[in-house]
Amino acid sequence: MFSHEPIEWPDEVELLVDRLESESARRALSREERAFMDVYETVPVLESTDGLHGFWQSDVNHQRVINSFELIGATTLVDPLNASRWCETRPDDRNEYSETEEEYLTTIEEELFDAMDELVDLVLAFIEEELG
């Protein structure tokens, strides 16, 4: 449905995810670690065929995830997330959107995917500055 290339996380990110998943069984993650994990875990949802609709229909803490994107410095992703908040109250099936709603959501998703192009660099900078 979308032309966005899926994000491929570098080994440094994958190793940190493995470490934090292991450590989270023994201790609570810090706010910065939780923000990193929120972003990492949310990207596949956003890249799915349901895109932003899928994000708003998921069981995640939406506001915490949005705050996490902001905390790691991905502020250009926050606007599309907030602009699509209306999806939270829509039917479970994206196919039930009106043509106007679908066009509007597609426009927001294009903005989101453009912003996602810089996400890997932002995450790496955040790791170095906050979690390094």
pTM of the complete model: 0.90
Tell me if 124 sits within 8 A of 36, measured CB to CB.
no
| Residue range 42-99, pLDDT digits in tens | 999 999 889 999 999 999 999 999 999 999 999 999 999 999 999 999 888 888 899 9
As a residue count, the chain comes to 132
Structure tokens at 88: 């939270």
Side-chain half-sphere of 127: how many Cα atoms within 13 Å? 20
Of 42, 44, 49, 47, the residue nearest 71 (C-alpha): 42
